[in-house]
Amino acid sequence: MSTKVIANVEVEIDTEGFMTNPDQWTKEIASAIAKEEGVELTEAHWKVINFIRKDYSEKGTAPSIRRINKVGGISTKDMYNLFPDGPAKKAAKISGLGKPQGCV
């Protein structure tokens, strides 16, 4: 397990930079990871992040794009605009969750 200092906090990460302990996540960390990913967080981004965090706390897994759309009410098109190049992965990373499990 490696660690990295993000927004002055030492957090556990995997080899691809995904946090492995979602409890260590803070809003400051989210902003710092987003900056590394080339995303400037706006209110629309926070709506997504808040949904992902809430859904994770209830379900134990990072939601899929379809779930973010159907349950969270954020359209897939918006997700691609907000988090370009792999929105599910990028949004999960900024939300302090592990890499979403690919399907089988």
Partner 1 sequence: MKRLLILGAGTAGTMMANKLLHQLDQNEWKITMVDKHETHYYQPGFLFIPFNIYSCHDVVKPKRDFVPAEVEYINSNIEIIEPEKNQVKLSNKKVIQYDILIIATGSRTVPEETEGLKDAGWYQNIFDFYTIEGACNLQKFFKHWEGGKLVLNITEMPIKCPVAPLEFLFLADWWFTEKGMRDKVDLTFVTPLPGAFTKPKAAQILGSFLDDKNIHLQAEFSTGRVDHANNKIISWDDKEIEYDVLVTVPVNMGDPVIEHSNLGDELGFVPTHKHTLQSKNHENIFVIGDATDLPSSKAGSVAHFQADVLTENIISYIEGLPLEESFDGHANCFIESGFGKGLLIDFNYDVEPLPGKFPLPGIGPFSLLQETKMNHWGKMMFRWIYWNMLLKGQELPIEAQMTMAGKIK
Tell me which residues touch partner 1 (CB under 8 A): 64-67, 69-71, 76-77, 79-80, 84-86, 101-104
Which residue type is seen at 33?
A: I
Q: At what angle do helices 87-94 and 43-59 cross, to 10 degrees?
A: 80
Candidates 16, 40, 60, 103; catalytic one: 103
Q: How far is the CB of 72 from partner 1 (least distance, A)?
A: 10
Q: Report the residue count for the chain.
A: 104
Q: Which is nearer to partner 1, 26 or 64 (CB)?
A: 64
Q: Which is nearer to partner 1, 6 or 100 (CB)?
A: 100
103 in active site: yes
Q: How far is the CB of 92 from partner 1 (least distance, A)?
A: 15
Q: How many CA atoms lie within 13 A of 54 on its CB side?
A: 10
C-alpha distances in angstroms, 38 versus 59, 72, 79, 83, 84? Answer: 28, 24, 15, 9, 9
Q: Which is nearer to partner 1, 6 or 65 (CB)?
A: 65
Residues taking part in catalysis: 103
